[in-house]
Structure 1
Amino acid sequence: MDISSTGLRVLRQIAESGSFTAAATRLGYTQSAVSRQAASLERSAGAALFERRPDGVRLTPAGLTLLRHARTILDCLTAAERDLVGTAPRTEPVRLGLFLSAGAALLPPALARLAVTDPHITLRTTEGTTPSLIRALRAGSIDLAVLTSRPPHRPLDGESPRLHVETVADTELVVAVPSTGEFAGRTVVHIDELVDAPWIATPATNAEPLLGVWPGLPGRPDIVHRARDWLTKLQLVAGGFGVTTVPSRLSPVLPPGVSLLHVEGAPPEIRRVLVARLPGRPTPAITSVTRAITSTT
């Protein structure tokens, strides 16, 4: 089987990105170049490695098998390059991915703890959605991921072997509202009062649900602003331009002018924060980072 390191990098990026187009963008290639690499990989492997689906591209069982070996080969090549140029790291690097609202509440205290307990660890972080971070874990692009799930908390994906998962905390979903106006001075709101509210939401995709609107809200929500960035969403709330949902753990980092309300008249919405990694024995550095994250609550 004749497979180049470039082909293995393309395989890993397709697994992480979930599409040929996104992989091409991340690698700086054209889509046709990525498609040619994918076809070459399948010819060399003698098996179908990619499953084209309406919501993107997923690896077949054969593709996942090759990906497992690709992670090892590419890590070895990176280590060899460092050794050859004399740049072997003096610290232990750990690559951490976090879902979009986790960084503000979890990352600073985790970094502060690591600076005291494990100053030799270099933590590099990236943000993403839970599905994209799961793909990055499987692809070997990150070592750990802070993810979120909602009841009934099924396995994070259907691939095998299952990811190793630890629970960080359960947190209640609440509604962020302007501190002035009709909700001023309140701590609770009835679900019926939110039916006609102007909502600020993250755009939905095939892989991601609509975020920012109360789940199960009766009727069609009036979404007046769409934004992925949490700072943008909360500043819009502070300015009186709408309301949005947030996990209650964000309360310590809210900007001035934003209040949080618990919702009555509807079942409570609980979100679980998880830290996940590939199965197997973790390195001491990964164990230390996991401990720093789970100790922040």
Structure 2
Amino acid sequence: MTFTDASLVALRVFREVAERGTLTAAATALGYTQSGVSRQIAALERAAGTPLLERRHDGVRLTPAGRIVLRRATTVLDQIDATARELAGLPDDHATVRLGWFTSAGTTLVPHALAALRRTHPAITVTTREGSTPALVRALRAGTVDLALLASVPPYRPLDTETPALKVLTLTERSLRVAVPAGHPLARGEFIDVADLHGRQWIAASATGEHGGLGVWPGLDERPTIAHTARDWLAKLHLVAAGGGLTTVPAAFTPVAPEGVRILPVRGGPAEQRRIVLARLPTPLSEPAARLADALRATAIETDTSP
């Protein structure tokens, strides 16, 4: 058996595994059993004559051979999909750009950039998906998104260790703030002293307050008390308004805070900054993707300088 015998089904399954990071997640997304996914990967590895995935306790990672196969498989599958569309008489989708974005970018940055792009380039179609940084980085590698809008935290390490390195453009750097109930004593001033955050109840994305979403103030030097967990930003802010606790948010949330919430800067202690970056593969951008990148950059700068 040679690699030319590899089936399109196996290539699609392999791309899904590479994007999802685990066989289980890929099986769920495809509607397959995990054993079915395993069989397709095993067949592809036999055809390649070498392992394509490194199995680890936390999922899978592409081997050097796997990266080659993924790059080629993505090209083949995209061409097959384009051919199917053409045969079906569907419109050419060359002007479609696939954008991935981190959760809080959906409050202002993404919708405002898309509105601006529609005004200047109405023929460009943008499809979007929200995701975590690891998921969107895998999607870039798998070729299922063209651009990924990500939040980068100090010390601003590379997004992954794969080669070739992703190309990353910093759009802006923003400070973090704390959302408090409008009637709370901390809401009386124009800023909050970091010392006044001690002993507070917090609303966070996880029960530990670590990783995968803001919530607890990053510079807090105590074990936090987390009263509520929620991943949805609107839910967090309404819990704040109801007096359920405090939560950390990007400064960009200030103009969209619901009634009953004040969003204030924090003084004292190290500055807490987050970069918003646009990541992509180090290959030339299509013109539609470049136009979207320009719109995102202009919107990021505009919202940073807005009063």
TM-score by length of 2: 0.92
2:132 counterpart (129, 144, 150)? 129
1:42 aligns with: 45
Cα distance change of structure 1 residues 281 and 7 upon mapping to structure 2, 3 Å threshold: same
Kindly state the Cα deviation for residue 264 of structure 1 after the two structures are TM-superposed: 2.4
The 8 Å contact of residues 74 and 143 in structure 2, kept in 1 or not, is answered as: yes
What secondary structure, in the 3-state scheme, does the structure 2 residue paired with 1:192 have? helix
How many angstroms apart in 2 are the aligned matches of 1:222 and 1:253? 26
My pick for the range that moved more, 213-222 or 270-279, is 213-222
**Equivalent pairs, count:** 296
How many angstroms apart in 2 are the aligned matches of 1:152 and 1:29? 39
2:64 aligns with: 61
Q: Deviations over 1:210-258 (max 9, x none)?
A: 6311113122111111111111111111111111111111212111111
1:21 aligns with: 24
Kindly state the Cα deviation for residue 7 of structure 1 after the two structures are TM-superposed: 0.9
1:237 counterpart (226, 237, 240)? 240
1:97 counterpart (97, 100, 106)? 100
1:80 aligns with: 83
The 8 Å contact of residues 190 and 265 in structure 1, kept in 2 or not, is answered as: yes
Write the letter of the residue equivalent to 2:23: F
Structure 2 residue runs without a partner (length 5+): 302-307
How many angstroms apart in 1 are the aligned matches of 2:200 and 2:213? 16
How many angstroms apart in 1 are the aligned matches of 2:136 and 2:51? 24
1:113 counterpart (111, 116, 134)? 116
1:266 aligns with 2:285: no
Cα distance change of structure 1 residues 113 and 209 upon mapping to structure 2, 3 Å threshold: closer
How many angstroms apart in 1 are the aligned matches of 2:26 and 2:185? 47
What secondary structure, in the 3-state scheme, does the structure 2 residue paired with 1:112 have? helix
Q: Deviations over 1:132-170 (max 9, x none)?
A: 111111111111110011222221111111111111110
Write the letter of the residue equivalent to 2:179: A
1:170 counterpart (169, 173, 177)? 173
1:250 aligns with: 253
2:206 aligns with: 203
Cα distance change of structure 1 residues 210 and 54 upon mapping to structure 2, 3 Å threshold: farther
Kindly state the Cα deviation for residue 195 of structure 1 after the two structures are TM-superposed: 2.2
The 8 Å contact of residues 214 and 249 in structure 2, kept in 1 or not, is answered as: no
How many angstroms apart in 1 are the aligned matches of 2:297 and 2:252? 14
Q: Which consecutive segments of 4 or more residues in structure 1 shift more than 3 A?
A: 207-210
Cα distance change of structure 1 residues 144 and 90 upon mapping to structure 2, 3 Å threshold: closer
Structure 1 residue runs without a partner (length 5+): none
2:196 counterpart (186, 193, 198)? 193
1:183 counterpart (186, 196, 209)? 186
1:148 aligns with: 151
2:293 aligns with: 290
Percent of aligned positions with the same letter in both sequences? 53
Cα distance change of structure 1 residues 15 and 208 upon mapping to structure 2, 3 Å threshold: farther
RMSD between superposed Cα atoms in Å: 1.7
What secondary structure, in the 3-state scheme, does the structure 2 residue paired with 1:88 have? coil
2:305 aligns with: none
How many angstroms apart in 2 are the aligned matches of 1:199 and 1:54? 32
TM-score by length of 1: 0.95
The 8 Å contact of residues 219 and 270 in structure 2, kept in 1 or not, is answered as: no
Write the letter of the residue equivalent to 1:36: R
The 8 Å contact of residues 204 and 211 in structure 1, kept in 2 or not, is answered as: no
Cα distance change of structure 1 residues 217 and 69 upon mapping to structure 2, 3 Å threshold: same
Kindly state the Cα deviation for residue 90 of structure 1 after the two structures are TM-superposed: 6.5
The 8 Å contact of residues 91 and 122 in structure 1, kept in 2 or not, is answered as: no
The 8 Å contact of residues 203 and 215 in structure 2, kept in 1 or not, is answered as: yes
What secondary structure, in the 3-state scheme, does the structure 1 residue paired with 2:107 have? helix
Cα distance change of structure 1 residues 62 and 122 upon mapping to structure 2, 3 Å threshold: same
